[in-house]
A and B are shown apart, each in its own frame.
Chain A
Amino acid sequence: MKVIFKTSYDNDIDLHEDWWDRGKMIALVAVMAVLPFFLGEYYMAEITNTLIWSLAGMGLMLLVGHTGQASLGHAAFLAIGAYTDAALMNVGVPWLVAFPLAGIAAGVFGAIVAIPAVRMSGIYLAIATLALFVIVEEAIIIAEPITGGVGGLFAPSITIAGIDFDRYASLNNFYWLCLAVVVLVTWLYANLMRSPTGRSFLAVRDSEVSARALGINITRTRSLAFGLSCAMTGLAGALMGHFITFFNYELFSVFISINLLLVVTIGGLGFIQGAFFGAILITAVPQLIAILRDGAMSTLGLDLSMPGLDTLVFSVILIGFIIYEPTGLYGRWLKIRFWLELFPLARRDMFRRQKTYLKTERMK
């Protein structure tokens, strides 16, 4: 087990506690950056998709994992990001302007919506976001001049300073672009969580009563978290639009909201890393199912092409995680690592959950 000898407050303030940790993170980014030289187009497209899902997942993680607010309608903000970006680019705005604007549009919309929504607690907020999602979906269909209505919208390819970032013609460039965005957003997110703002999010999540006693304005903090969460999701939506290239409202179905929830819960609520773990799972499982399906077809002659099989597998995984590992993949990873560090001293009961009883806040 590693013990850090702390010599200054900066040891605690820095993102990584020592150069070993920092080195690992740098190495990871470096490996990600050189991947296109080793992998083929199919894998690069999948990894790009995973990166975009991680970004969207981080958006929801900030809200669900770090501020303790549920949202069942985050696909609406993906949609707002995608449509804002594509619509702006279609009237000639360069990507470098349209992309941040897409994030800001989703963020501002989210924050405005949040002001009444944050007055609601838990379950009501979840329901309100679901309703919001349906309303946004209908609004997209009605706003045909901007969104193309049912027909859909084309996201033009990205060009920055003469370099082409088209998703098909130059996939590697598009991948690097997504990687850069994800690295930047992750860094900003991590910074936020080690600063007073991030601590106020956690305070609101864990005890509203004492957060107020500490002088934290609950409504403002929650709206801020909601806005930032929606902005991140909006950015992901913009990238997703470019990745799909031609989309209509059906891309942002209620299933996408559910998949996003899956990303954060299976990944591990309350950890930024969890969004990445979850995104890997959600993009890898459909591929695995496809491979298995082909395998079953060719070797056993079994036809497993039932509609909804993907969703069933996701649902079962989700149920399993909620019951047996509520801390998610990242939580499990932490436990395994801890067990290895302590080996052979770890005891079986070390991670046993305490029995909890639900005590209502309802009084009548």
Chain B
Amino acid sequence: MELIQLIIGGIATGCIYGLVALGFVLIYKATEGVNFAQGDMMMLGAFVALGMVNSEFGALPFIPGVILAAIIMGGVGYGVDRFVVRQIFGQPHFALVILTIAMGFVFRFAAGAIWGFTPLVLETPFAGNTLNIGGIIIGYEDLTTIIVTALLTLSLWAFFQFTKLGLAAQASSQNQMAAYIVGVPVHRVNSMIWALSGAVSTIAGVLYASKGAIDPNIGLLGMKAFAAAVIGGFGSLPGALLGGILIGVVEPIAARYLPGGISQMSPYIIMLAVLVTRPNGLFAQIYAKKV
């Protein structure tokens, strides 16, 4: 019984990891770049939503407030790509890694300067309510997290599979030059994807904030999301989600049944194990370079 309770809580936490991981994967799938600031984008998204919704700030109703926050963060994502990332278009991946790490620090500073470093609580309509199914207690926020995540993943998958923008993004990631030649506006597609990723991480941030207080350092959660993305293969949307859930479930179980310290290490140990055994992730998409 206790185990089931742990697993359900783990799945909900894992969904949040998974959502942040989705943000990584979106950008990676479309632009082949890795955004190390994803965790900080989630943090900033949570704060922007908090700024819209909480009574001492914007005091908007919850749903419109969150949607507005997602739109703003979409704009931030677009802007980051348009004014910063695009400047290094075509440079080695390593440059982007460092650039986005630096961007993360800028976000963290911005959030700290505006909302301060003391933890704040987002006011949500579903906080505190629980559902009791045969002795197992599920919080409304956990239930919402799981449902929203499932819907979001499904629609993102459909986006890449069926929409013009999604297909264009896939094309430009495989060969930017060729995509240009056949008329894909590579720059704009990349910026749109960054915007989308910003919006998705806002949702993740709001769900995270619904489970507890937030401060500008929660962006470090991005590292766990990273592990989730790697376990899932880094190019696969469902993979990222599954990776997140795996980590989310393993963590509380390790904390409960294994000696101290192992729990904090567990996401990274799993990730290293995956990297070592399958250097390209579980759902690998990378093939050897052609000579």
Identify the A interface with B (CB < 8 A). Answer: 64, 70, 72, 116-117, 119-124, 126-128, 130-132, 134-135, 138-139, 141-142, 208-209, 258, 261-262, 265, 306-309, 311-312, 314-316, 318-319, 322-323, 326, 355-364
Contact = CB atoms under 8 A, between A and B. Distances in A.
B265 interface: yes
A116 B95 CA distance: 24
Contact of A360 (B101, B175, B223): B175
Given A130-B223, A130-B226, A141-B261, A70 B90 contact: no
A309 B276 CA distance: 38
Given A127-B230, A311-B105, A315-B102, A135 B276 contact: no
A361 B94 contact: no
B108 interface: yes
Contacts of B227: 127, 131
Given A360-B32, A360-B173, 7 more contacts: A72-B97, A315-B109, A319-B84, A319-B99, A322-B91, A356-B91, A361-B289
Contacts of B102: 314-316, 318-319, 322
Contacts of B285: 362, 364
Interface string B235-271: 1000000000000000000000000110011001101
Interface residues of B, number: 55
B93 A362 contact: no
Instruction: Identify whether the interface residues of B are mostly helix, strand, loop, or mixed.
Output: helix
B34 interface: yes
A70 B106 contact: no
26 contacts: A120-B275, A121-B279, A122-B93, A123-B234, A127-B226, A128-B271, A131-B269, A134-B265, A135-B272, A142-B260, A209-B289, A258-B101, A309-B109, A311-B105, A314-B105, A315-B105, A315-B109, A319-B106, A323-B88, A326-B88, A358-B176, A359-B175, A362-B32, A362-B173, A363-B174, A364-B285
A131 B105 contact: no
Nearest to B269: A135
Residue among B90, B105, B175, B276 with most chain A CB within 10 A: B105
Instruction: Identify whether the interface residues of A are mostly helix, strand, loop, or mixed.
Output: helix
Nearest to B90: A356
B213 interface: no
Contact of B97 (A123, A315, A359): A123
B57 interface: no
B158 interface: no
Interface in B190-234: 223, 226-227, 230, 234
A331 to B, nearest CB: 13
B291 interface: yes
